[in-house]
Amino acid sequence: MRVFWQIGGVLVVSILIGLFLVTRSASPLVKYETRATSSAASAAIAAGSPTSTIPSETYRVMKVVDGDTLVIDMNGVGTTLRLIGLDTPETVDPRKPVQCFGKAASDKAKELLTGKRVSIEKDMSQGEVDKYGRLLAYIYLPDGRLFNRYMIAEGYGHEYTYRLPYKYQKEFKAAEARARSEKKGLWADSACATQSARTVSAASPSMTNVPSGSPASAKASSGNYDCSHNVYNCPSFKTQAEAQKVFDACGLPGQGGDSNDVHKLDSDKDGRVCESLP
């Protein structure tokens, strides 16, 4: 009987030692896997991938209008999408000239989207459609990247808030800040060097296009800004103060800048323009 208990004791001690050794050897693996997962998540975010689950249903892109607008096939019907949180320079609006870096943004969108199948995500904080009847959405590329964010992160457009905050607002603003600091795309020093709007020259020749005698002409003449049509957008300025100066200059006398926001700089109508600029 004594021998039996001695053998049993040895077995119990052996099992406990074995479990201890297994636990110690597994811990570094668990820690490594955790670090690897965290690193992969960080890389995915940096590359423009979403932080939420990608919708499984996909739609064929029928047409890319410009950098922030496209048409997809939804059940056999062409549906126009306006991308949430992203604004790229104009290229197709007949009322406006082609804006700085607009063609580059449009070309990149066509490269990534034409003929592809994309997933869409809606955001009820922004409503279903905009005032033009376009479906408001985020779109995901076949490789999982969030296209809206990618365009901002690579300097093809800037973050855009229309009245209310949206789901990815914080991420998009951070992406723009990084693109600006790294001088990517339209934020590069030489990107808009040929356009006076980049520095808002105090002697802009485009003021000759402002109808003489108009209130906008009288108000803008002191700063020589073009207030006759949409010439500038937020990326045209280096600071919020510069954008605000143009906004205020183009306002009708005694009525403030929002009385003639021809450049659409005040998206949320609070009187303070281009709030993402430093």
- Tell me whether residue 134 is one of the annotated catalytic residues: yes
Q: Is 90 a catalytic residue?
A: yes
DSSP result, the chain: -HHHHHHHHHHHHHHHHHHHHHHHHHHHHHHHHHHHHHHHHHHHHHTT--SSPPPS-EEEEEEEEETTEEEEEETTEEEEEEETTEE---SS-TTSPPPTTHHHHHHHHHHHHTT-EEEEE--GGG-SB-TTSPEEEEEE-TTS-BHHHHHHHTTSSEE---SS--TTHHHHHHHHHHHHHTT-GGGSTTTTTT-GGGTT-TT-GGGGGSPTT-HHHHHHTTTT---SS----GGG-SSHHHHHHHHHHHSBTTTBGGGG-TT---TTSSS---TT--
Question: Catalytic residue among 2, 24, 60, 90, which?
Answer: 90
Q: Positive or negative CA dihedral for 53, 68, 48, 161?
A: negative
Which of 33, 57, 82, 159 is flagged as catalytic?
A: 82
Task: For residue 12, give both structure tokens.
Answer: 């119990």
The CB-based long-range contact list for 257-261 (8 Å cut-off, 24+ gap) reads 260/215, 260/216, 260/227
150 exposure class (CB count in 10 Å sphere: 0-12, 13-18, 19+): buried
Catalytic residue among 2, 24, 35, 134: 134
Q: 159 an active-site residue?
A: no
- Give the catalytic positions in this structure: 82, 90, 134
